[in-house]
Amino acid sequence: MRELKFLNQFFWNYRGRLLLGVVFICLSNYFQVLQPQVIREALDLVIEQLNNYRLYAGFGDVRDEYFGILSYTLMFFGGLVLLLALLMGFFLFLTRQTIIVMSRLIEYDLREVIFDHYENLSLDFYKRNNTGDLMSRITEDVNKVRMYLGPAVMYCANLISTILLVVLAMLAVSPTLTLYTLIPLPLLAISIYYVSNVIHTRSTFIQQQLSKLTSIAQEVFSGIRVVKSYVREEQQVNYFAEESDRYKNMSMNLAKVDAWFFPLMVFMVGASTIITVYVGGLQVVAGNISAGNIAEFVIYVNMLTWPVTAIGWIASIVQQAAASQKRINEFLTTETSIKDPAPDERRALRGEVTFEHVAFTYPDTGIKALKDVHFHLKAGEKMAIIGRTGSGKTTIADLLVRMYDVTGGRILIDGKDIREVGLSNLRRRIGLVPQDVFLFSDTIHNNIAFGADHDPSREEVEQFAKYASVYEDIQDITLGFDAMVGERGVTLSGGQKQRVSIARALIKHPDIVILDDSLSAVDTNTEQRILGYFNEALADKTSIIITHRIYGHLKFDKIIVLEDGGIAEMGTHEELIANGGYYSEIVERQMAEEV
Ligand SMILES: Nc1ncnc2c1ncn2[C@@H]1O[C@H](COP(=O)(O)OP(=O)(O)OP(=O)(O)O)[C@@H](O)[C@H]1O
């Protein structure tokens, strides 16, 4: 329950609504409790009038008069009960409008807080936790917490005020009858609590099985090309059927327990009613209470049924909410490992990059990705990083934008340790085109404009698409720049995606550009055009190009060859050719391929 304390600040923010909600629920219950009293009065009066009516059996006129009074009285009481019901309903409406609306507002705030926190967490957090888990905490767990914020709070206030008002009204009539009537109710609360718990446990398993089914289906449909080409349809159907069967059995088990819920409730309420009628009857005979009081008590018992049943239900909701809030808090208390020392910093970078004996070990796997990497790039210089797969090239790019912090040595930009410069400013000023291109499910225009700090015009977006050599490709698509990409849109080829991603990085007007293997899927002519832009428009910008291929079109000031996380070769094209190492090997291989 400690976990739920976190939510008190949200209750405090909406304290006005909460307080009003409690007042409304008390008023609603007050009018509800008046109803049985009116009914009792009506019943007692009817009995009395009936006796009188019978008494005047021989006196026609007086009899008729009594009959008139009786029907008038009944109508009056009927109207009164209706008025009370209306008042009760009106305040119940206001209760829901305050407490349930409050819970929805808190749910919204909570989601925003979690989303905002998620976004600020570093990449290693995302590597440690899978996306499904992150999603379920922000959706399902928040939903469960919402049940506590709204319904549980409302039913709890309802429970307390109903019990208080009803028991006070009952005690005013007969303490003995009250005691007898209330005996079965704690039993009802306890049994409902147990049944609710069993229902909850089984529902959780069902929920898990359902998400398993969903992910199986999703994976099969996403990988349908592989499934079809390996003729594995039947195998997948069987697997799905097996899991589906398990889901069905679990649901059947739940249905059995569910079936107990209402009979149990009806049984307990029935027992309470019988006791009331029996003990009440004895009291009427003894002259302690009136016959109308029995009817009044029977209505009270019915009034108490739902709130008492709700005890078990509330307890179950609170338990689930506490478990969910614990999971949410786990992430909310996770601090980002990448701190921003100057969030408000905004300045251009000159573009001087220095790696001083940089070492880096991935935090979770312990893989030593970089060892003693040492180089210096003057502002405006162009550098290529070449190396076998897994040699640490991407790691260099990630460290430069502080996706991770170095574990040894330091990285300087314009002579300053990057851990001391503004993180957002650093990322804003570096245009990184990552190796695994990701485009949002949005229009091509918006995907490119995403990179800009301002809201760029169509002309500007088109201009950068031209620089990235993807303009003509986009023109060939029916909707052009307004075409959607992603799951429900056009499918761009690997090379087109890479170039859209380059346009997105360039529209930032970055001071340092890093291309991480971003030209691997483009042909030589296109590559030539893109690199032409680097030679001309970006001539004074520092550029780092990670590649498996040698680009003859761009004159690199420095080329480094990485091997097992360390620099194996470093120099200009001519120097490295003269060296006769890995670099000259690929140059030779590439030349042979081109021939
Ligand atoms: N997020 C990560 N967590 C743990 N280890 C990682 C992570 N990313 C990369 N590695 C490991 O670090 C090493 C260097 O990887 P890196 O991606 O920098 O290589 P690369 O030279 O860019 O390879 P490629 O040319 O295939 O893209 C590899 O051994 C890789 O397995």
Environment class of residue 97 by beta-carbon count within 10 Å: exposed (0-12), middle (13-18) or buried (19+)?
A: middle
* pLDDT of amino acid 553: 64
CA of residue 431 to ligand 1 center, whole Å: 20
* pLDDT of amino acid 308: 82
How far is CA 184 from each of CA 127, 166, 266, 309, 357, rounded to the nearest angstrom?
A: 54, 16, 12, 12, 77
Ligand 1 atom with the shortest distance to the CA of 546:
22
**Which one is predicted more confidently, 538 or 30?**
30
Q: Whose Cα sits closest to atom 6 in ligand 1?
A: 362
Q: CATH topology for 2-332?
A: ABC transporter transmembrane region fold (1.20.1560)
Domain 2-332 matches domain 353-434+511-594 at the CATH topology level: no
Give the C-alpha separation, 49 to 71, whole Å.
10
Residue 206 bridge partners (DSSP): none
CB 377 within 8 A of CB 162: no
Residue 490: phi, psi to the nearest 5?
A: -70, 150
Residue 430 bridge partners (DSSP): 512
Ligand 1 site residues, Cβ closer than 6 angstroms: 127, 362, 365, 367, 369, 387, 389-395, 435
CB 563 within 8 A of CB 582: yes
Q: Are strands 430-433 and 382-387 parallel, antiparallel or unpaired?
A: unpaired
CA of residue 284 to ligand 1 center, whole Å: 87
CA of residue 565 to ligand 1 center, whole Å: 9
Top CATH class, 353-434+511-594 = alpha beta
CA of residue 407 to ligand 1 center, whole Å: 15
Neighbours of 268 (CB within 10 A): 22
Residue 516 bridge partners (DSSP): 546
Q: What is the rounded radius of gyration, in angstroms, for the C-alpha atoms of the chain?
A: 37
Helix (H, G, I), strand (E, B) or coil at 139: helix
Give the C-alpha separation, 326 to 1, whole Å.
9
> Percent of the chain, pLDDT > 90?
46
What is the biggest distance separating any 2 CA atoms in the chain, rounded to whole angstroms? 135
Q: Whose Cα sits closest to atom 31 in ligand 1?
A: 390
CA of residue 369 to ligand 1 center, whole Å: 7
* Best mutation site among 391, 432, 562 for ligand 1 pocket (most ligand atoms within 8 Å of CB): 391
Give the C-alpha separation, 366 to 369, whole Å.
9
Q: Whose Cα sits closest to atom 24 in ligand 1?
A: 389
CA of residue 576 to ligand 1 center, whole Å: 25
* pLDDT of amino acid 369: 93
| Residue 66, amino acid | Y
The domains of the chain are located at: 2-332, 353-434+511-594
Give the C-alpha separation, 280 to 284, whole Å.
6
Average pLDDT value over all residues in the chain: 88
Average pLDDT (144-165) is 93
* Best mutation site among 362, 368, 370 for ligand 1 pocket (most ligand atoms within 8 Å of CB): 362
CA of residue 553 to ligand 1 center, whole Å: 28
CB 17 within 8 A of CB 52: no
* pLDDT of amino acid 487: 65
Report residue 550 as tokens.
């040698």
CA of residue 396 to ligand 1 center, whole Å: 10
Residue 558 bridge partners (DSSP): 383
* pLDDT of amino acid 228: 92
Neighbours of 488 (CB within 10 A): 7
Report residue 341 as tokens.
């020392």
Q: Whose Cα sits closest to atom 2 in ligand 1?
A: 362
Characterize 320-344 residue by residue with b for buried, 16 or more Cβ atoms within 10 angstroms of its Cβ, and e for exposed.
Answer: bbbebbebbbebeeeeeebebeeee
Poorest-confidence range of 199-203, 321-325, 390-394, 484-488? 484-488
* pLDDT of amino acid 507: 93
* Best mutation site among 337, 395, 404, 519 for ligand 1 pocket (most ligand atoms within 8 Å of CB): 395
Ligand 1 atom with the shortest distance to the CA of 370:
14
Q: Are strands 382-387 and 542-547 parallel, antiparallel or unpaired?
A: parallel
Give the C-alpha separation, 279 to 267, whole Å.
18
pLDDT of residue 94 exceeding 90, the answer is yes
How far is CA 486 from each of CA 60, 247, 260, 443, 562, rounded to the nearest angstrom?
A: 89, 32, 48, 9, 34
Place of tokens 């349930």: 100
CB 94 within 8 A of CB 41: no
Give the C-alpha separation, 59 to 159, whole Å.
52
* pLDDT of amino acid 552: 67
Give the C-alpha separation, 446 to 503, whole Å.
11
CB 527 within 8 A of CB 519: yes
Ligand 1 atom with the shortest distance to the CA of 398:
18
CA of residue 382 to ligand 1 center, whole Å: 23
pLDDT of residue 433 exceeding 80, the answer is yes
Average pLDDT (72-92) is 91
Q: Are strands 408-413 and 416-417 parallel, antiparallel or unpaired?
A: antiparallel
Ligand 1 atom with the shortest distance to the CA of 392:
18
Neighbours of 480 (CB within 10 A): 15
CB 296 within 8 A of CB 36: yes
Q: Which residues contact 512 (CB under 8 A, 6 or more apart)?
A: 349, 351, 353, 400, 413, 429, 430, 431, 541, 542, 543, 544
- Which tens digit of pLDDT belongs to each residue from 371-389? 999 999 999 999 999 988 8
pLDDT of residue 31 exceeding 70, the answer is yes
What is 212-276 written as a DSSP string? HHHHHHHHHHHTHHHHHHTT-HHHHHHHHHHHHHHHHHHHHHHHHHHHHHHHHHHHHHHHHHHHH
Average pLDDT (476-495) is 82
- Side-chain-side CA neighbours of residue 468 (13 Å): 28
Place of tokens 């007898």: 180
CA of residue 575 to ligand 1 center, whole Å: 28
* Best mutation site among 130, 337, 367, 544 for ligand 1 pocket (most ligand atoms within 8 Å of CB): 367
Helix (H, G, I), strand (E, B) or coil at 363: coil
